[in-house]
Structure 1
Amino acid sequence: MKEKRKNMNYFKINKKLHGSLGDMVLNVEFSLEKGDFLAIMGESGSGKTTLLRIIAGLEKSNSKIIVDNEIWQDEKNFLPPQKRKIGFVFQDYALFPNMNVIENLLYVQKDKKLAEFLLEITNLKELKNRFPNTLSGGQKQRVALARALMRKPKILLMDEPFSALDPSMRESLQKEIFLLHKEFNLTTIMVSHSPSEIYKLSNKVIEIKQGKIIKNSNTKEVLLKHSGSAKFAFEAKILDLKKSDIINIAIISIGNQISEIVITNKEAKNLKIGDSVIVSTKAFHPNIKKIK
């Protein structure tokens, strides 16, 4: 069986949830090798954060979790969070405000040599005596990451770790996390809504919808949704459809951008406002395809 292979980590998660569209069951199964960087994507309320919390032991569930051939949870066993070798980086940093930077790290484990090493490689050495309320968002997130690594985790969990940061800080921290992932040979699971972030960092992607895995493959196969010689492909939403003289035009939103594209008569008949579509191009001619 997969879960018995050397350095394999096996997760079979099952829990009843109240999702964005009502009651649902989070029911996912996947395995990771040591050193994998898995990104979990999906719409809000699909169960992504709950999945991380179950792996960390912060929520009870009917699950089977095996990490490095050690049973963390099954029908008979439940290893408490403090005994799981987990590093967890939350969205809100979760630092102790009454402790300075190095005290935050040493609270996890009294290993000053490791703490100093982590402060060095995350460029925090000069800030080690500062308190969280004097740090920027990016500095706080680096402290949170260094603190998570103090446990020498077998699994590093990150729940949208860059969501509160500006674009330049996000890019800088992404590079640091990728280097730390390699340096410590981590197995990392990250929840993210950013395709570019997922593409840069992960080698595997799972997409969850209403508690179920709808895609599970390597990063390029999941994110590059086009085939053949398409130059690009983006998921978009139809905001408006209009006709100008003999030309049909679709107003679409892609992320935070709104664009107009020319569509054929056939496309105009088959599309309606609110439809989700894939917009792609071949030889600089945009194509639009409705998502079923």
Structure 2
Amino acid sequence: MIKIEIKKELHGSNGVMNLDVNLDIRSKDFVALTGLSGSGKTTLLRSLAGLEKAQGIIKVDNEIWQDEKEFLPVQKRKIGFVFQDYALFPNMTVLENLFFVNKDKELANHLLEITELWELKNRLPNSLSGGQKQRVSLCRALMNRPKLLLMDEPLSALDPTMRIKLQDEILQLHKEFETTTILVSHDPSEIYKLSNRVIVLKDGKIVDDGTAKSVLLKTSGSAKFSFEGKLLDIIKVDVIYVAIIAIGQQLVEVTISSNEAKELRVGQDVRVSTKAFAPTIHT
């Protein structure tokens, strides 16, 4: 069990904000942490890692990592941290990057086999692709068999095919090593696939906490689907209006009424939903 009860004053783009988090996380859970940029997600991860100081208590199992008197330094916390920018040592080979954490050859070989990196073990990071670098970063994070694995948007810079492959490997390693994992992500499909619990932060506070389905599913009533996107344009074609909306990496066209065309504004975040074959758009 991990107990987190911390407060920290943050200075964001909208001024001063107070990170105020009180939660318990069960051992071996896979928790997705999501919310708008600047809501305090990365600061929470860095506080758990001991990279930043916050007021309050962090307790992992029966070990105090932080309270009013104690502050366990990062090197003494049983954590693995996977960064978005890989943070590999450029002058070390793949294997040397792993051995920097722990000289356990058997564990290193096992991790490299699982992630299909064995044949690349003597290569330097600058000769690897982005996906390969992130796999090395993941392996390195697991070299000390951490109690807590922290990942800050580790797959956001990768293409969709590689993201899916690494999601599978992350889930496999999470189960095999029985770590408690906290992942920062904005990708609903990634969150749904990997996590058994989703925590939503807004302005430094927890505003939602539950399963991926209960937190992320936005349909209501008899609606068959619902997607969030950005309204790019409204075009009049003869007597009808067509809205051009960006949803993820795709553009969709939705026919709208003249009243909707008057009410909607280009640049708005909108929700597209349908009950049958008649999509509707809501801001």
Q: Shared fold by TM > 0.5?
A: yes
Distance 2:67 2:281 in 1: 46
User: What's 2:59 paired with?
Assistant: 66
Distance 1:21 1:44 in 2: 11
Q: What is the identity percentage for the equivalent residue pairs of Structure 1 and Structure 2?
A: 65
Distance 2:150 2:279 in 1: 38
- 2:133 corresponds to which of 129, 135, 140: 140
Q: How does 1:18-167 map to 2 (within 5 A)?
A: 18-167=11-160
1:227 and 2:196 equivalent?
no
Report deviation, 1:113: 1.8
SS at 1:177 equivalent: helix
SS at 2:279 equivalent: strand
1:2-31 deviations in Å (ceiling 9; x for gaps): xxxxxx212223111111322211222222
CA RMSD of aligned residues (A): 2.0
Report deviation, 1:243: 5.3
User: What's 1:280 paired with?
Assistant: 273
Distance 1:64 1:236 in 2: 39
Distance 1:258 1:33, change over 3 A: same
1:289 and 2:278 equivalent?
no
Larger deviation: 87-96 or 40-49?
A: 40-49
Distance 1:252 1:222 in 2: 23
Amino acid at match of 2:148: I
Report deviation, 1:256: 3.3
User: What's 2:246 paired with?
Assistant: 253
Q: Give the structure-1-normalised TM-score.
A: 0.89
Distance 1:13 1:241 in 2: 46
1:179 and 2:172 equivalent?
yes
Larger deviation: 27-36 or 264-273?
A: 264-273
User: What's 2:200 paired with?
Assistant: 207
Please tell me whether the aligned partners of residues 20 and 44 of structure 1 are also in contact (alpha carbons under 8 angstroms): no
User: What's 1:4 paired with?
Assistant: none
Q: Give the structure-2-normalised TM-score.
A: 0.92
The runs of 5 or more residues in structure 1 that have no matched partner are 1-7
Larger deviation: 78-87 or 119-128?
A: 119-128
Distance 1:248 1:132, change over 3 A: closer
Report deviation, 1:247: 3.8
SS at 2:145 equivalent: coil
Report deviation, 1:217: 1.2
- 2:182 corresponds to which of 160, 179, 189: 189
